[in-house]
Structure 1
Amino acid sequence: NTILVMMLSGALAGLAGMAEISGVVHRLQERISPGYGFTGIIVAWLAKLNPFGVIIVSILFGALIVAGREIQPAGLALLLQGIILFMVISSDVLLHYKISIARKAPEAA
Structure 2
Amino acid sequence: MARMDAAADTANSNVLLHLSAHRAVVGSINHVGIVVGEFRGPLGIKSGRHSMEATRWWDAVRDPAQLKNAAVEAGRKAAIGAGVAVVGITGVWASRAALAREQRGEEE
Report the TM-score, using the length of structure 1 for normalisation: 0.25
Bigger RCO of structures 1 and 2 (CA < 8 A, at least 6 apart)? 2
Between Structure 1 and Structure 2, whose CA radius of gyration is higher? 2
